[in-house]
Amino acid sequence: MKPIDSHALYLDGLHYDAQHVEIVEDIPFYITQAKKYGEPILELACGTGRITIPLARQGFDVTGLDISEGMLKVAKEKAEREHLSCKFIHADCRKFSIPTKFNLIFIPFNSIAHIHDRGSFEALCDSMKGHLAENGHFIIDIFNPRLERLLGDPNSRFPVAEYEDPYGHETVIITENNIYERATQMNHIKWYYKIGNKEEFAVELNMRIYYPEELDNLLYYNGFDIVEKFGDFDGSSFESSSPKQLIICRKK
């Protein structure tokens, strides 16, 4: 089981929030699923609580789990400011143990792409099965791969984000390029940060690409049945052109 290699990318929760402040389209989807499948709820790779906290605002019994202490620090501070009772746990989603069975567990926002190898995927599934209630459900949210983007020119850069530095008044500009390794289905991405007039620096983001039929089969052979599969947060059916793979499953 390979170690999670994304620590450098998720060290600073304030930068993460500034970069992702406009990402809200998935929140109503998870509120709907929470109402449907019930509580308690566990969010894996919860980060700064971008989804955990809106669920807590709705009154749900929700716990967020993440491997980054820097992200969790910001999540806890935000929850405390709003006097919310959500809990946060510092742990690796592949090998944790808490004395609660959950009716809903989800791993949102492409975070499963940080699960790079079969051993890690199997460990994640074992953790889910050990923490799901008898009729509990597990949701995975990951993009539907676009080959034209994966196989593009590795020397070309694409815009990622632009936002104000949370520690000052300078502008942060992020661009990226990537090299896709077809043998391992790993997309080796570099994010280039330019903060005001400071020297540019790069951070690696390695993402395992999961193709639709492959992901369905991995879940099946690790003890899950797929209940529904959507192509976007509006509940549309999954198709080849869908931007997302939203998979709702339960233990066999």
pLDDT of residue 169: 86
Among the listed residues 205, 187, 176, 115, the one whose alpha carbon sits nearest the alpha carbon of residue 151: 187
CA dihedral 225, 227, 230, 233 (to 10 degrees): -120
pLDDT tens for each residue of the chain, 252 residues long? 887 888 888 989 999 999 999 999 999 999 999 999 999 999 999 999 999 999 999 999 999 999 999 999 999 999 999 999 999 999 999 999 999 999 999 999 999 999 999 999 999 999 999 999 999 999 999 999 999 999 989 999 999 999 999 998 899 999 999 999 999 999 999 999 999 999 999 999 999 999 999 999 999 999 999 999 999 999 999 999 999 999 999 999
Pairing of strands 62-66, 186-195: unpaired
Provide the greatest CA pair distance for the chain: 55
> Which of 3.40.50.150, 3.40.50.1000, 3.30.450.40, 3.40.50.300 is the CATH number of 7-144+210-251?
3.40.50.150
Report domain extents, the chain: 7-144+210-251, 147-208
pTM over 0.85: yes
Write out the two tokens for 62.
């929700």
User: Cβ distance 228 to 248 under 8 Å?
Assistant: yes
